[in-house]
Structure formats: C-alpha cells, structure tokens
Structure 1
C-alpha cells in the first residue's frame, strides 16, 4: 500500500498545486502559444528584435505578436493550420486584416504552420500578405501572396520595417 494521496494522470487534466481540483488543459491555446513563440524567435533572429507575444485583447484583437512597428502578425499553428483549406486561409486573411486595422498597422501578415515543418523550422512556415497598395501602388488589385516567413522578413526589412541584419550593411 502506498502512502500519500493517489493521483491519476490523464492527458486532458492537470492538477493545480495544492488545490487538488483537476483543471482542464486548453490544448488549442497551448498549440497557439507554441506557434507564436516559434514565430517570435524567427522574427527576433531576422531583424525584429523587439518582437514578443501580445496579450489577448478580446473583440479588439490586434494580432498575436507586438514589437514590430507598422506590422500585425496573426499566427496559426497545430493541426488546424496544417490542414487548412483555401476557404479557411481566406477567413484567416480577413481576420488578419481586421486585426491590422485594430492595431493601426500598415501591413498584416498571416503566418501558418506547414505540415511536416515543426516549430524549430518556423522560418519555413507560410507568411501570407495581401498584395495591395503597399506592393502595386494601386488599390484595385488585392490578392494574397504566400512565401516563407524568413523571406517575408527580408522583404519587410527592405521595405523599411525592422532593423537591418549585420550582413545587410547600409551603403552610403
């Protein structure tokens, strides 16, 4: 016979220290946190040293990552992102645009985890931006453009966002 309280572990339950009452883990939130953390690491390594996860804002959400002046990042990770249909991506682009407006940002970037590409390689996740006045200089053309997150960071730095990397010396 064992001494002390008996505990059982289930994947969906966690026990708070001292309280003894089981608490449900929010796996979706955990996956979102892991994805956002991976994207922040990529941003910091690619010219956005002040990037950090943003606290939730509810109905007036301003994106998942802050510290990148003029930019609004919305991050989608886990199975929902890996299995996202074109319609789901379109809905997330619209969500990103709403959050861009809420944040008073110039550009909204949707970052979507790719199947087979884990958080350690988040630089290879998809970054989806709207190709509108920022790129074409006209507002009647508006369509999504998809590229790797690392490439989006390069494009954004060259457009004046973030800080140049040491390898991108500014010529006089």
Structure 2
C-alpha cells in the first residue's frame, strides 16, 4: 500500500532539490522529518531552508492558505535557526521537470534583510509584512546575489568591448 500524498511530497521536494542543484546550490538536499520541531523540507545551503507544497492544494492555494503555510515556514525557520527561507508551491500545469517556474513566497522584509547585515531595526516595524511571490529561479538568483550558494557569474566585458 502506498501513501499517495507522501509520494507527491517526495516528488515535489526532489524536483526542487534537482532544480536548485542546477541553479547554483550544489549541496541542496531533502531534509528528514524532525517530528514536532520540523525544520522544513529542503536545505539549500547552510542556514537556508524551504517548505515545499506540491499537491493539488498547492496548485489551487488561496491567499489565506499561503499565509497559513508562511506562518508554518516561520516556525520551521526558527526551529532550524535558519537565516533565510521560502515557501515553494507547485504551479498548475508546470511539472517537476520545470520546477524553476514554481512559485516561491517570501516576506518582503526578508528580501531586505538578506542584503543588510545586521538587519536594520526598521525592517518589520513599518507595517504589515507583505508576502512576495516570484518564481523559484528568481528566488535562487536573489539568494545567490546575497552570497548563498555558488557565486553568480560575473561578466567582465563592457558594452564597448562587445560592440568591437
């Protein structure tokens, strides 16, 4: 007897790991269950954890459900003592082979603090902390630009050099 939801979850997490490994996070890995002190589904790099939702509920998630999952993620990041994280949700019609196009959800203040160490005291105190949605490949590029994962390639040629 197979557990279909578990299979769907495992397949989704594996798709995210494979995508992350090809997009600058070679040590990305699925995490084992930690019982009541869950630390997320995927570790991208030291201090960076993801919660992955890949079933039908993810494809049709309401804003309220996304918010519930974001609060779950915040608890997991605290449990893991992680510095960064995101909620990844499968998009309807987009297979795991194209998981780079799945949605990544983060708090707006997190984007700011990833670029500011130590975090500025004003972050999170101005008003509601909006949830921002982007594609997984955009999230991975943001994290790499901040110093997580492999460095982004640098193009040392100038526009002038490319027109010669």
TM-score above 0.5: yes
Name the one with the larger helix percent.
Answer: 2
Q: How has the CA–CA distance of structure 1 residues 92 and 104 changed in structure 2, closer, same or farther, with 3 Å as cutoff?
A: same
CA RMSD of aligned residues (A): 1.6
Contact 1:108–1:130 under 8 Å retained in 2: no
Report the Cα distance in structure 1 between the residues aligned to 2:88 and 2:155, rounded to whole angstroms. 28
The count of aligned residue pairs is 146
Which structure would you say has the larger Rg? 1
| TM-score normalized by the length of structure 1 | 0.80
* Structure 2 alignment gaps of length 5 or more: 114-119, 157-164
Change in Cα spacing, 1:84 to 1:163, as seen in structure 2 (3 Å) is same
- Residue 148 of structure 1, aligned match among 124, 128, 135: 135
Q: TM-score, normalised by structure 2?
A: 0.84
Aligned to 2:99: 122
Equivalent residue in structure 2 for 1:42, among 13, 19, 25: 19
- Unaligned regions of 5+ residues in structure 1, if any? 1-23
Deviating beyond 4 angstroms after TM superposition, the runs of 4 or more aligned structure 1 residues are none
Alignment of 1:106 onto 2:91: no
3-state SS, counterpart of residue 56 of structure 1: coil
